[in-house]
């Protein structure tokens, strides 16, 4: 089959080239390439890494005459405009659940990296200074989880073992969810400001869509505890960039850590990422050997299903 791979990740490309070796695979990394190739594609495999919201839009679908499936390499297929896909009758599938542990573990890493001031500690090593910087313990602190899906739930359960108090807001929480998870409070998004005011650490684990763009803006950052930490495990545009920069430069925030930028790959010289209390990782939340290989196997299964005329797994449209 003629398959396009929309990806800027060498690891994703490598694992799929191995898994789909018997197919004709074309790597696509920008809109011009996609417009040039999409007319002949039978399957398009997408990755959100480095591509904006709804990158695969009406302009693409109007040329996709042979497209039988858009298969997202991961969970949040925000790179695809799902409403337009549905309008054109192109099925879209994802691979749910396989990255849950990996992203939750990265969240724990970033919590500790902020608490122990990892960026400054590395600088102290370079300067041959001992016993600096002074960090803080996470035990006894409050973690606010914004978005209690698979990843948010996995993170909440793990930090309980670190002695943290956990609060959460999420869409449509089921009755008794907090008790079932053993965490203190689960509320609807209307309680976001209350959660921010009570939390020492706030972690964003919700999807990017038209509703969540700019979710954390001036009002939300002002509501956070002075010196609190903000961690983004989702997508850059969830946060108002200028409001965040002001909160960092004013000292309102104790620090910021993110696995995604507003534009990717991120510019390391960006004025936000040069702040001493900011930690940036290069969109590696789901980049573990286990996740890459397992996800590639599901992609292969859906490619085989399309070739056999069968319905793909994990349909979104």
Query: Token digits for 129?
Result: 């200074």
Question: Is 235 assigned a catalytic role?
Answer: yes
What is the DSSP code string of 2-47?
EEEEE---HHHHHHHHHHTTTSEEEEE-SHHHHHHHGGG-SEEEE-
Helix (H, G, I), strand (E, B) or coil at 272: coil
Angle at 56 between CA 50 and CA 62, to 5 degrees: 155
Which region holds residue 176: left if phi is over 0, alpha if psi is between -120 and 50, else beta? Answer: left
Question: Is 72 assigned a catalytic role?
Answer: no
Which strand ranges, in their side-by-side order, compose the sheet holding 24-28? 24-28, 2-6, 43-46, 69-72, 92-93
Q: What CA–CA distance (Å, rounded) separates 178 from 176? A: 6
- Token match 């898994």: residue? 19
Q: Which of 72, 119, 225, 235 is catalytic?
A: 235
Answer yes or no: are the C-beta atoms of 224 and 252 closer than 8 Å: yes
Q: Which of 72, 150, 225, 283 is catalytic?
A: 283
**Pick from 15, 6, 20, 7: which is nearest to 303 by CA?**
20
* C-alpha distance across the termini of the chain, in Å: 22
Interacting residues of 160 by C-beta distance below 8 A, sequence separation 6+: 166, 182, 183
Q: What CA–CA distance (Å, rounded) separates 122 from 133? A: 10
Question: Is 283 assigned a catalytic role?
Answer: yes
Q: Which of 17, 105, 184, 264 is catalytic?
A: 264
Helix (H, G, I), strand (E, B) or coil at 280: strand
Query: Token digits for 264?
Result: 């990717």
Catalytic sites, residue numbers: 235, 264, 283
């Amino acid at each position: 089959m003629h398959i396009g791979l929309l990806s800027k990740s060498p690891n994703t490309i490598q694992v799929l080239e191995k898994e789909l070796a018997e197919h004709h695979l074309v790597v696509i990394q920008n809109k011009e390439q996609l417009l040039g190739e999409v007319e002949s594609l039978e399957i398009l495999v997408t990755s959100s890494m480095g591509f904006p919201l709804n990158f695969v839009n009406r302009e693409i679908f109007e040329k996709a005459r042979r497209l039988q499936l858009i298969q997202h390499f991961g969970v949040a297929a925000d790179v695809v405009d799902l409403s337009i896909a549905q309008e054109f009758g192109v099925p879209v599938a994802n691979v749910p659940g396989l990255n849950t542990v990996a992203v939750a573990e990265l969240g724990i890493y970033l919590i500790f990296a902020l608490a122990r001031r990892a960026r400054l500690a590395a600088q102290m090593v370079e300067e041959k200074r001992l016993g600096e910087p002074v960090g803080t313990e996470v035990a006894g602190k409050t973690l606010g989880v914004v978005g209690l899906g698979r990843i948010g739930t996995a993170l909440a359960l793990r930090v309980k073992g670190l002695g943290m108090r956990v609060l959460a807001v999420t869409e449509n929480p089921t009755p008794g969810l907090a008790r079932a998870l053993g965490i203190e409070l689960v509320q609807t998004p209307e309680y976001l400001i209350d959660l921010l005011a009570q939390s020492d650490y706030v972690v964003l684990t919700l999807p990017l869509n038209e509703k969540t763009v700019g979710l954390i803006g001036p009002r939300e950052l002002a509501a956070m505890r002075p010196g609190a930490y903000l961690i983004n495990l989702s997508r850059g545009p969830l946060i108002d960039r200028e409001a965040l920069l002001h909160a960092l430069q004013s000292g309102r925030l104790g620090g910021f850590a993110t696995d995604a930028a507003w534009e990717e790959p991120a510019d390391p010289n960006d004025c936000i990422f040069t702040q001493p209390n900011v930690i940036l990782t290069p969109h590696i939340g789901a980049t573990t050997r286990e996740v890459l290989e397992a996800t590639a196997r599901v992609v292969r299964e859906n490619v085989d299903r399309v070739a056999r005329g069968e319905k793909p797994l994990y349909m979104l449209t």
